[in-house]
Amino acid sequence: MDAVDRKILRILQQDASLTVAEIGRAVGLSTTPCWKRIQKLEASGVIRKRVAILAPDKVGFGVTAQVSVQAGDHGRETVEAFIVAVQAMPEVLEFQRVAGDVDFCLRVVTVDIPHFEDFYRRLTSLMPLRRVSSYFELQQLKSETALPLALAPGARLQAPIADPAPGG
Amino acid sequence: MDAVDRKILRILQQDASLTVAEIGRAVGLSTTPCWKRIQKLEASGVIRKRVAILAPDKVGFGVTAQVSVQAGDHGRETVEAFIVAVQAMPEVLEFQRVAGDVDFCLRVVTVDIPHFEDFYRRLTSLMPLRRVSSYFELQQLKSETALPLALAPGARLQAPIADPAPGG
DNA sequence: TATGAAACCGTTTCTCT
DNA sequence: AGAGAAACGGTTTCATA
C-alpha cells in the first residue's frame, strides 16, 4: 500500500458515492488503474464495507449514552454469556472489553429516556455488576467514521483532500 | 417515512454497495420507485452520507481508547477553546459533551502506545483538567454504524433482512 | 405512487504501452 | 503498473397507468 492507495482511502472514507473517474482524477490516475487499486483494497480487506450513515434524530433516536460496566467477580462462563447477550441487544452500537478501572464500555442509542431505562434494567439484570456508569450525550462535538490516515505508519503528512476542480 | 423506507434504510446501513434493483427486490418494489425513495431520503438528510469503513489494524492503528475528561473549574471561553482544539485533533474520532460525573467522552485511535502517550500529553496540556481516565480497548466485541431501526418510533418489530435469493 | 422501456453514464474488461 | 477504447450493466428519465 503506497501513498496513492492512502489517498484513495482518504477519499472513500469521506464519500463513497464518488465515481471511480472522479477519484482517479483526484489522485492523478485514469479510471482503470484507480479501479484496480480499489478492487485490491476491497479484496485485501482494507476496505471492510460501504455503508450509509443516517441522522439519528431524523429516524427518532433522541438518546445516546456511553455506559461503563465493572463486572462482579464471576466465572468465565457467566461473563461470556453476558458478552453474547449484550452483543445481541440492538441498542448497543459499540461494545468493547477494556483495560482500566472498568471492564466494558458500551455506546448505546435509544428513542428516549424511558427506553433507556428499560435498556438499563435489561442490561443490569443479565449478571450482577459491581458498578455501572451512564454518561448521556448532551452535545455531539465530533463524530467520525474515517480513520486519520495522515497519522498511519508510512504516511507523509498531507493536506486535507481538495475537491477536484470543477473546471478540470 | 413508512415501513418501506425503513426497510431500504436498514439495507443501506448494512451495505451501500447494493444496486437499486437489488434493494428494490428486497423491499418488493421495482427499481424506479425504490430509486425515488432513496433520492428523497438523501435529500431530506435522513441518509447523511455514504462512506467506506476501513479495518483499523490493516492501516496500522493498533490502539483505540475511550477517554473521559472532567474539566477543571474554568470559564466558558477556556472550555470553548478546549473543544475547538480537541475537535481538530485527528486521533479523536468521537467527542461528546456528556452529563454525569465526567464532562467529555472521547474515542481515540493511535498507531501504538507511544503515540497515545504523545496524544495524551497534548490533550492534557490544552487546559488544566480535574481528572482524565483512559480505557484501552482489549477486544472489540461489537462495532456498528447502523442504527437499530427496528426500535425506531413507528417501526413494527421486524426480522433481520434476508439476502435477496440468488435464484431470483 | 408504481411500472416498464429507453437513454445515459459509470464500471469493468480488454488491448496496448 | 498505467492508459484508452469498447462492452456491459446500473442509474436515471420518460411515458403510462
Query: Which pLDDT score is estimated for B161?
Result: 61
Instruction: Kindly give the residue spans of alpha helices, DSSP state H, lying in chain A.
Output: 3-14, 20-27, 31-43, 76-87, 113-124
- What chain B holds in terms of domains, given with CATH numbers, is 3-52 (1.10.10.10), 56-136 (3.30.70.920)
Share of chain B above pLDDT 90, in %: 89
Q: What is the 3-state secondary structure (H, E, C) of A140-163?
A: EEEECCCCCHHHCCCCCCCCCCCC
Distance separating alpha carbons of residues A115 and B124, to the nearest angstrom: 36
Identify nearest nucleotide to residue A17 by CA to C1′ distance. C10
Collect all residues of chain B within an 8 Å Cβ-Cβ radius of residue A47: 52-54
Predicted confidence (pLDDT) at residue B168 exceeds the cutoff of 50 = no
Nearest to A16 among B16, B109, B148 (CB): B16
The overall average pLDDT reported for chain B is 93
Query: Which pLDDT score is estimated for B167?
Result: 34
Distance between the alpha carbon (CA) of B88 and the C1' atom of C11, Å: 37
Query: Which pLDDT score is estimated for A11?
Result: 98
Q: Which residue has the higher pLDDT, B106 or A154?
A: B106
The answer for B 105-144 residues in CB contact with A (under 8 A) is 105, 109-111, 115, 133-144
The answer for A 38-67 residues in CB contact with B (under 8 A) is 44-56, 58-61, 64, 66
Distance separating alpha carbons of residues B150 and B155, to the nearest angstrom: 6
Q: Phi/psi at A116 (nearest 5 deg)? A: -65, -40
**Per-residue pLDDT reduced to its tens digit, B134-167:** 999 999 999 999 999 999 998 876 556 655 444 3
Query: Which pLDDT score is estimated for B160?
Result: 60
Tell me what the mean pLDDT of segment B89-98 comes to: 98
Average pLDDT by stretches of 10, chain A with 168 residues: 97 98 98 98 98 98 98 92 98 97 97 98 97 97 98 79 47
Minimal CA separation from A81 to chain B, in Å: 13
Query: Which pLDDT score is estimated for B73?
Result: 82
Q: Which three cell numbers stand for residue A117?
A: 431505562
Q: Which residue has the higher pLDDT, B70 or A154?
A: B70
Q: Is B134 helix (H, G, I), strand (E, B) or coil?
A: strand
pLDDT band of residue B57 (cuts 50, 70, 90) is very high
